[in-house]
Amino acid sequence: LEPLSSCCRSLSAWDAHGLYAWPLRQSSVKLRVFIIGNKVVLQVSIFGTSPNDIDSAEDRYKFSRKLEHLQISQPQWKKSDDVEDAKQFCAKVGYPCLIRPSYVLSGAAMNVAHTEDDLAAFLKQAAVVAKEHPVVVSKFISEAKEIDVDAVAMEGEVLVMAVCEHVENAGIHSGDATLVTPPQDLNQVTLNRIQEITIQIASAFNANGPFNMQLIAKDNELKVIECNLRVSRSFPFVTKTLDFDFVALATRAMMAADNPAIASSLKKHGLLRGKARVGVKVPQFSFSRLTGADVMLGVEMASTGEVACFGKHRQEAYLKALLSTGFVVPKKNILLSIGGYHAKSEMLRSVQLLQDMNFDLFGSKGTADYFQSNNIHVTAVDWPFEEGTSDQKMAAGTRSVAEFFENKEFHLVINLPIRGSGAYRVSAYRTPGYKTRRMAVDNGIPLITDIKCAKLFIEALHTVGRRPPVNSQIDCVASRSLKRLPGLIDIHEDWYSCTRAALAGGITQIMAMPNTSPPLVDVDTYQLVDKMASQNAVVDYGLYIGATPSNPLVAFELAPVSAGLKMYLNQTFSTLKMDSIADWVKHFEAFPSSRPIVCHAEKQTVAAVLCVAQMTGRAVHICHVSSAEEILLVRDAKRKGWPVTCEVCPHHLFLTEEDLPPGVREVRPRLATIEDRNALWENLEFIDCFATDHAPHTWAEKNDPDKAPPGFPGVEYMVPLLLTAVSQGKLTLRQLVDRLHYNPKKIFGLPDQPDTYIEVDLNDEWVIPESGGESKAGWTPYAGIKVKGRVQKVVVRGEEAYVDGMISINMHLLHLVAIIPSIRRELQVTTDEGQEESKVSIEESPTLPVAQFTPREVTLAGSHLLSVHELGKSTLNSIFDVADRFRADVERKHPLTHILEGYVMASMFYEVSTRTASSFAAAMQRLGGGVVHMDSFTSSVQKGETLEDSVTIMSNYADVVVLRHKETGAAARAAAVSSRPVINAGDGSGEHPTQALLDVYTIRQEIGTVNGLTIAMVGDLKHGRTVHSLAKLLCVYKDVTIHYVTPTPELGMPEYIVDYVKKLGGVQKSFTCLAEGIQNVDVIYVTRIQKERFARPSRNLPIVMHPLPRVDEISTELDHDDRAAYFRQAKNGMYVRMALLAMILGKSPL
């Protein structure tokens, strides 16, 4: 923790707002005490989950109590520092049992006990590791699946979560376990329940930032093992596998605590389910460097590193990850040593697969006999670990297993002991299994010791083969700002080299124009063009039918196999121009309404064709809109509800007539003015598609002064130009995807392209070259333009077709290219609203459900609080839960004034008071209420007014009355006449219930539980009303022992209190010797004590409490001891009294 102190001191010089402290391993244990005890020294905000909530999650008692309140199941457990007590528990729940310190991380000193002897040894070891905290014995659940949850929350609300499942059975430390995400074996019901549990726990512990949970699943039942309110080692794993930055979101969530702008920008992503890949994390061990160490894994972490890999499925990812650790796939010989009938039976199918893969199998005698009886050939080898056995068998000609190891003739050893992985941590060094494992490690032979891993490895080897395929779209994760978009569609394209240029530009589907030579206008030319396309295209394609005055019937017949009908109504590069409106009408009436009609129309021709479409009741798509006049016509038609869609070319969005020289700038429609270009951007919402109208005319052709052909090559640079517009704020990424994917699909009825997508780098800045890229034209009108955004990868049907500037074409890919089939859909008008969700980022699961809590049937609303007699265990738990909630809200500076706004508390104190009076007043004011004060010195009491009259008057002014009086029984008298609830704040030497409540609350906070504690009450117990109430209240807890320590018997606890405790089964002991009375106690409730008494305590507890003021009863030298809890005790009084006021006034937040 020294680095944290140093960092905090440095921050003052940097004027920093705060820091993040994500402690790992053992540092978490002491962080809470350190921060709370050094707030004045640190003078800096530490972002994230509060230290108190971290403590609640790490302390087994507090954590368990929360789970019980939430009705979340957990394995049975018990605190124990006594072997006999632990034996009784283990006998009750049954072995095996897990032994671990209550407050320790990384599995230190954790073990699984199978016998009483194991238990005694492990208890001793655990007690050494964590002396200050109790040892926990819990039921170990065999043959269960362990599940990890990584999540990010903001103020108790889950923003995102990921689930990993362990391959091994429960009992392997998560650092040593093989993790898989997204989970492959969990059904939807289980995942839904995991979500519910995660949401409940995040809310209960006010998680703020990253947190991690471990659960265990068996027989469709989930149990929570633990929750760590900190970042976990699996955060990078789930971040990369699921393509979502958990750390970045966690950082912003923590910063949002006092930054509303950040808080409002964060959205819930739910449970991430991944996309198109599975990640597997495997451990890396160093057993070969640890002479004599057993290779068996268990609940205590043993690995020295981890490796994760991705694959299309679990088997592929696992094999890649295993190979990455240095594991070598076996060549031929495999040694099997499988203990127990159950394990042999479970491995039967896997061993059969090994035989099917032609491996030579060897085994111990029992293993070989079993598999040979199941028609699997396994050669038995001699196991010469017992003295004399080896000589006899080798004399008979049987080779020894040791000889195989020494000659490195085994290429893999599968050793599965009867006590499976995780079930036994300490090795029996003389067993044959141990010697087998050590020989494998010492001879550098791959070794598998877990049955689930063995099965998965064999399955992976059978499914994937010896060398898993390399697939960069799955295996690689880039740090660049990449976005994955669906395959884009260019609805006006040309042939041959154009499809290579299209691929380089991120286009995976094209619509080929019919104005070729010869033009596509009948069956013969259709077949000619289709044949040429099928032989050369490297992307999916569709074919337009060109309209002529004489082919309405032919166009009708070709409609089912066409992308649509293309009508040229103005001059372009072809002989397809149609001048007669009568010919237009024939096509509009004849062409099937299930296919689109696409018109090249300019200026007034746009108005004409819109009228024809309206008269014939047909939808129409206007291509190449280029001027303000045209876009305004389309806008007005759309506003009137006419079925019209349109497209715009990138050269009309990014170039004007002034940007290119004569001849070169020839295109149809022509480049327009700056005003026309601006009009297109201003009316972007009415543009449905972007299309290049790619025409690969060469530079020489374009510079022919007599007949320069119209048209530009542009398909390769359309996406970078549009991404630049995105970076400039002219366009959103969603609008780009809509106009190049979803809208074309809808307008032209195009099918989905499975496993097809592109990846673009949004931040790559570069200059478009003069070469023209992949197009045969050899030039581009966009040369020299600086753009931001580049297509990095194109994947078509799962095959990488373009990566980092290189087109990879193979026969397999060419076979997949096919004509886009006709789709049975009417042309529909498209808008930005209502489009299919753009997959530009990680998929989100449905919104997480709201945390559900079952309300307790406990209420104090409208009730008096006069004595602890009125408080049962459930009521105490409810009060303390509300107090916990208020404490967390106060520490986070959350507003609470709305809770009791408009309510008034009457504070009637007939005795002087600092803590009780002030804490009640502070509690009321923090909740938004007002306080009316009355005391016996400045009120009508001086004139002789009775208590009853004063209470009657004050209750008329307030909603609740808090009374402190010097006479025993005064609170009951006040309650008899008050029209409002009365809270007893102390009546003479009678009771002080709210002090007793805060005392018990403090004990729970400091130690974690009240059950089973020994509490010493020291001092004048005869007249101390605080100890009277506390003694009574302790009776609601189990196995509490009370020591009464007084200077003389005359100052002992009153008999009626002793009788009360005795009647309820409490254990009581009286002492007049201070040293004897406080020996081996957990809590000392003090009225007089001195620091020297605690110089050498017999144990690391107890804590010291005092109701204050201490006067000279506690030396100030004790104040800086961590065990001095009295100031924390006084602070807790405010939270408890806040809870009481809210509950009595019927405004409890829970």
Beta bridge partners of 599: 567, 622
For 225, list phi and psi in degrees, rounded to 5: -90, -55
Q: Given 586, 964, 973, 1025, which residue is catalytic?
A: 964
Q: How many CB atoms lie within 10 A of CB 249?
A: 20
- Annotation marks residue 992 as catalytic: yes
Q: Given 566, 595, 992, 1032, which residue is catalytic?
A: 992
- Annotation marks residue 233 as catalytic: no
Q: Residue 819 carries which DSSP code? A: B
Q: What whole-number distance in Å separates Cα of residue 1074 and Cα of residue 1096?
A: 14
Place of tokens 């008050």: 978
CA-to-CA dists, residue 352 to 374, 668, 1021, angstroms? 9, 69, 78
Q: Given 313, 419, 915, 1093, which residue is catalytic?
A: 915
Q: How many CB atoms lie within 10 A of CB 988?
A: 17
Secondary structure, 3-state, 640-667:
CCCCEEEEECHHHHHCCCCCCCCCCCCC
User: Are the C-beta atoms of residues 64 and 138 closer than 8 Å to each other?
Assistant: no
User: Are the C-beta atoms of residues 251 and 235 closer than 8 Å to each other?
Assistant: no
Burial of 1073 (0-12, 13-18, 19+ CB in 10 A): exposed
Burial of 85 (0-12, 13-18, 19+ CB in 10 A): middle
Report residue 793 CA to chain centroid gap.
Answer: 28
- Annotation marks residue 17 as catalytic: no
Q: Given 251, 692, 916, 1087, which residue is catalytic?
A: 916
- Annotation marks residue 916 as catalytic: yes
The DSSP element (H or E) to which 150 belongs, if any, is strand 145-154
Q: What whole-number distance in Å separates Cα of residue 463 and Cα of residue 18?
A: 52
> Tokens at residue 1008, please?
């974690």
User: Are the C-beta atoms of residues 144 and 220 closer than 8 Å to each other?
Assistant: no
What region, left, alpha or beta, does residue 773 occupy, with left being phi > 0 and alpha being psi -120 to 50 degrees? Answer: left
- Annotation marks residue 692 as catalytic: no
User: Are the C-beta atoms of residues 797 and 727 closer than 8 Å to each other?
Assistant: no
User: Are the C-beta atoms of residues 812 and 797 closer than 8 Å to each other?
Assistant: no
Q: Are strands 757-767 and 689-690 parallel, antiparallel or unpaired?
A: unpaired
Q: Given 639, 707, 893, 943, which residue is catalytic?
A: 943
Burial of 981 (0-12, 13-18, 19+ CB in 10 A): buried
Q: What whole-number distance in Å separates Cα of residue 890 and Cα of residue 1131?
A: 12
R_g over Cα of the chain? 40
Q: Are strands 305-311 and 278-284 parallel, antiparallel or unpaired?
A: antiparallel
Q: What whole-number distance in Å separates Cα of residue 914 and Cα of residue 921?
A: 10
Closest by CA position to 504, among listed 518, 515, 490? 490
Q: What whole-number distance in Å separates Cα of residue 308 and Cα of residue 306?
A: 7
User: Are the C-beta atoms of residues 18 and 46 closer than 8 Å to each other?
Assistant: yes
- Catalytic residue set: 915-916, 943, 964, 992
